[in-house]
Structures are given as C-alpha cells and as structure tokens.
C-alpha cells in the first residue's frame, strides 16, 4: 500500500472573482501535491468554492440572477484561473454539490446524537463579509476588523452547537499535537483565545434561505461555516478515496480563517466521532503592488491576466520564491520584483544553463563513466558524479516537508549556480570533454525533477530535451521581460 497524503485549500467565496491572493495558496498546495506524488505517495488534492450564505445571496441580488445560476458562473471562473496556473487538483468541490449536502446532513445528525445541538435565541453583532459574529470585546467600536465596516445587530431563533463543551479537549489536543496548528505564532494566538473561554456556536439562520436546509428543522438553513468546513471530509467519502481521511492531512488556509478551522472544525469532528486532520496551516496575506487587494480599489487582478503577461511558471516561481510561506508572514506581489526574478534567476541562471549545455552536448556528445546508472532513490541517483554530489538533496527534502518552499528553491538555484560555474571552469567548448558534459546533463536532469513541483511546464520541457543521450539544443525557456 502506498503512503497517503491529503492536501486541501480553503474553498473560496463566490461573491467575487479569483485574484492573486486566492492563487498563492493554491500554488503552494499544488507544489505539495506534486512533490508527494513524485516521492511515490498516493495523493488527494482538493480545492473548490464556498457557495452558500448571506454574502453570496446579497451578491446575487446585485446581478439579478438566480443564486444557482450566479454561483455556477463564478465557480467556473475559479476553475479557469487554476487551469491557467497548472493547478492539478483531484477534486474541485462545491458546497452546492449533491454529495456535500448529503454529508452535511449526516454530520449534523451525528452531532445531535451526541447531544451537542440545541434550540435557542441569539443576539449579536454580525459581519456579512466574514459570515461571522463578533463580541463587543472583539470589536469595541463595532467595526469589523477585516472589512472595516459597521457590524450589523442580529436577533433570531437559532440552533446552537455546544462549542463550550470542547474547551478542555481543544487545549489538551493542541498540547499533545504541536503540529496541528502551524505556524507556531498562530498557535499561540489561538491557545490564548481558547483559554479565555468558548461560547456555544449559532449554526442556523432564518433571516435568509440560500443554504443547506437544516435537517432538524426545515425553517432554518445551516450556517455557512458549519456547512463549508465539512467539505474536506465530503471529498474523502467518494468511492475509492475513503482511506485518505485520517492519513497525513494538511489544510492550507489564510490566517483570517484560523479560528474557524482550529477551533470550530476540530470540535465539530470530535462531536461527530471523526478523526482530526494532522495539520492546519494558516499563511499570511498578499497585497498587490503595495496595496491591499480589494474590489473597491479595483486591483483584484485576475491570475489569468498575470499568466498572459508573464507565463504560468514565472507567476508560480515568484509566489513560491519571494514569500516565506512557512513563517505565515504577509507579502507583496510586486510586478517589478517578479520581472527581476524572471530575468535574473529563470532566464539568466536556469535558462542559460539549459541552453548552453544542450548546445554543447549536441555538438560534442556526452559520455557516461563506469559509475553511472545505479538508481538508489526516487528523486536522485547515488553517484560519484562530483558535480551532482554538491546537490543538497536531503536539505531540500526537509525544507519542502517543513513548508519552507522559498528556501528549497534557494538551494536548488544555488546548485544551478554551481553548475554554471562548473561550465565556466571546465570550458567544454575548448576541451570537448564529453564526460564533463555528461556530468552537467545528469545534474540538469535531477534539477528538472526537483523543479517539477514548482514550475511544471518548464521542468517538463527540460526533461524532454535531456531525456535521452541524443541531445538537441533546447529552445529558449524564458524570454527576457
């Protein structure tokens, strides 16, 4: 049996079209999925759209379209955006999918059987943009901290989930499983808030009806977060995918979603008697050219537009190399910085190495030494190739497994630099040394494998050029911008 690896992203609200902030997370998830597949694991990668709730219902009113027609159209735009970036997911889940509605209904009944759902009345301050309630302690000025808009006072009959019952369970779980909330800085924030106490969670609405009917009372619809979180579990109920739940699972999410996923979600799963995921990773936000991404500023630039300007691999590379994902810090998607990295690192360093090595190999040929050909691992050969020995494979593997993708790319490109220096020092255009050229070719083959999760289109082109010993000069990989 192959090892399992399950990676998910947040499912995005369909009240607006996709932008580069949404794309960042999906690119990282795609890298992790491709990397684990490359290492022989059985991988499930799920992304999708969150299509219920008041925010979506309000957005449909602005267009004059029926809710289902509206969400169908916007959901397709997310699929198109991820296709343009070569995001190779296994399932695009939508919360309007029939199987999801069925699983949500079953999930709620499991929580009710555990005596964790009861009817009551709720009065509180609500932000439709967040689809969340806030206390006066959270927002003394009654302004949403994320959307900077006044909170709305709402009073209604609602069903509650006994979240308060799970305070001790959560604190104990965080302590026993330090990898559950990453990065550590987010964990500290969550632990401190949970220690202050938990209030029971309102999980139904009666003020609108665009949502999954609540199975215990059809006058109510299920609260969007109680519905949406269950998508990760729904995707593993498909035939043949049941074994993925409970295996190494990583939920990738923006830091604004941390509370929902590290408090509501594990409590819900515990109530329903379902195993918890391994890791909830809460990353930082991206701004765009120094400004917060928002519809009002009209800078929510489409990933498709960026791909048309710079190419999918350049956009992917910049997101992964520029921002330290593992720290959870925010970053700025700056087009000038992207152009500089494209020209200096992709075109000059990688592109130039591939171009001149392939040209020299075509002209003079390559020759194996006696030590070549005994493959010892999935990624890299155990070889006495003096050049390839300088590739720090173990370090790169460790960095990727620790989500330090920017540092992993730094190591790979450090080796590309070593290869370029090797060409300069050995001067095969003068010596015509075919063994030197073979060392370069073999090294580039390994670089292509390592780069495949990050820049798959370019890595495949490199692999195609060097797949046999009969090498022809490579076409230009990266044109200068």
419 is catalytic: no
Question: Which of 102, 146, 147, 472 does the annotation list as catalytic?
Answer: 147
- Under 8 Å between Cβ of 215 and 242: no
**Which pair of tokens denotes residue 124?**
């509180």
144 is catalytic: yes
Contacts of 24 (CB under 8 A, 6+ apart): 283, 286, 319, 323, 333
CA gap 190, 171 in Å, rounded = 10
CA gap 183, 190 in Å, rounded = 11
Q: By CB neighbour count within 10 A (0-12 exposed, 13-18 middle, 19+ buried), where does 398 fall? A: middle
Beta strands in 206-360 (DSSP E): 221-222, 249-254, 279-283, 286-288, 291-292, 331-333
147 is catalytic: yes
Question: Which of 4, 55, 127, 342 does the annotation list as catalytic?
Answer: 127
Contacts of 237 (CB under 8 A, 6+ apart): 99, 103
Nearest to 479 by CA among 353, 351, 358, 360: 351
Helix (H, G, I), strand (E, B) or coil at 477: coil
**Which pair of tokens denotes residue 148?**
């900077």
- Under 8 Å between Cβ of 90 and 4: no
Question: Which of 130, 319, 380, 419 does the annotation list as catalytic?
Answer: 130
127 is catalytic: yes
Question: Which of 4, 19, 26, 407 does the annotation list as catalytic?
Answer: 19
Question: Which of 111, 144, 319, 419 does the annotation list as catalytic?
Answer: 144
61 is catalytic: no
342 is catalytic: no
Question: Which of 146, 153, 292, 432 does the annotation list as catalytic?
Answer: 292
Tell how far CA 182 is from the center of its chain. Answer: 14
Tell how far CA 425 is from the center of its chain. Answer: 41
CA gap 146, 293 in Å, rounded = 12
Tell how far CA 325 is from the center of its chain. Answer: 10
Question: Which of 4, 22, 261, 407 does the annotation list as catalytic?
Answer: 22
* DSSP label of 143: B
- State whether the Cα torsion 164-166-169-174 is positive or negative: negative
Residue owning tokens 């002209």: 363
**Which pair of tokens denotes residue 5?**
């690896």
177 is catalytic: no
Tell how far CA 51 is from the center of its chain. Answer: 19
Cα angle 288, 127, 124 (rounded to 5 degrees) comes to 155
Nearest to 320 by CA among 346, 296, 351: 346
Omega within 30 of 0 (cis) for the link into 183: yes
Question: Which of 102, 175, 219, 295 does the annotation list as catalytic?
Answer: 295
CA gap 179, 401 in Å, rounded = 12
* Residues designated as active site: 19, 22, 127, 130, 144, 147, 292, 295
């Amino acid at each position: 049996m192959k090892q399992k690896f399950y990676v998910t992203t947040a499912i995005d609200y369909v009240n607006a079209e996709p932008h580069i902030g949404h794309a960042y997370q999906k690119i990282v998830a795609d890298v992790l999925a491709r990397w684990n597949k490359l290492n022989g694991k059985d991988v499930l990668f799920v992304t999708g759209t969150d299509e219920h709730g008041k925010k979506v219902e309000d957005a449909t009113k602005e267009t004059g379209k029926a809710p289902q027609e509206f969400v169908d159209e916007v959901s397709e735009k997310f699929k198109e955006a991820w296709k343009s970036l070569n995001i190779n997911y296994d399932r695009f889940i939508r919360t309007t999918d029939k199987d999801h509605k069925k699983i949500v209904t079953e999930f709620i009944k499991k929580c009710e059987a555990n005596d964790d759902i009861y009817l009551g009345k709720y009065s509180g301050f609500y932000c439709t943009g967040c689809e969340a309630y806030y206390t006066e302690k959270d927002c003394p000025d009654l302004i949403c901290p994320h959307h900077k808009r006044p909170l709305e006072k709402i009073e209604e009959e609602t069903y509650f989930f006994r979240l308060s019952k799970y305070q001790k369970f959560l604190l104990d779980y965080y302590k026993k499983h330090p990898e559950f909330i990453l990065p550590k800085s987010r964990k500290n924030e969550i632990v401190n808030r949970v220690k202050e106490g938990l209030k029971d969670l309102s999980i139904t609405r009666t003020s609108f009806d665009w949502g999954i009917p609540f199975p215990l009372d059809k006058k109510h619809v299920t609260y969007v977060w109680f519905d949406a979180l269950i998508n990760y579990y729904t995707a593993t109920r498909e035939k043949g995918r049941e074994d993925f739940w409970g295996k190494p699972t990583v939920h990738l999410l923006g830091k604004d979603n941390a509370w929902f996923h590290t408090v509501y979600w594990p409590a819900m799963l515990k109530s329903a008697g379902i195993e918890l995921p391994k890791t909830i990773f809460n990353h930082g936000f991206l701004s765009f050219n120094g400004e917060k991404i928002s519809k009002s500023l009209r800078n929510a630039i489409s990933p498709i537009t960026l791909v048309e300007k710079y190419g999918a691999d350049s956009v992917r590379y910049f997101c992964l190399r520029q921002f330290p994902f593992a720290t959870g810090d925010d970053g700025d998607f700056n087009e000038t910085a992207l152009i500089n990295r494209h020209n200096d690192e992709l075109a000059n360093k990688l592109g130039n190495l591939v171009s001149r090595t392939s040209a020299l190999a075509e002209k003079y040929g390559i020759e194996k030494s006696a030590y070549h050909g005994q493959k010892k691992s999935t990624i890299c050969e155990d070889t006495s190739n003096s050049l390839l020995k300088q590739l720090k494979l173990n370090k790169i593997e460790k960095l990727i497994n620790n989500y330090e993708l920017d540092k992993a790319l730094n190591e790979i490109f450090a080796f590309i630099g070593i290869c370029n220096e090797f060409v300069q020092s050995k001067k095969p255009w003068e010596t015509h040394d075919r063994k030197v050229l073979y060392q370069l070719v073999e090294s580039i083959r390994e670089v292509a494998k390592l780069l495949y999760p990050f820049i798959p289109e370019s890595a495949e082109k490199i692999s195609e050029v060097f797949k046999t010993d009969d090498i022809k000069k490579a076409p230009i990989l990266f044109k200068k911008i």
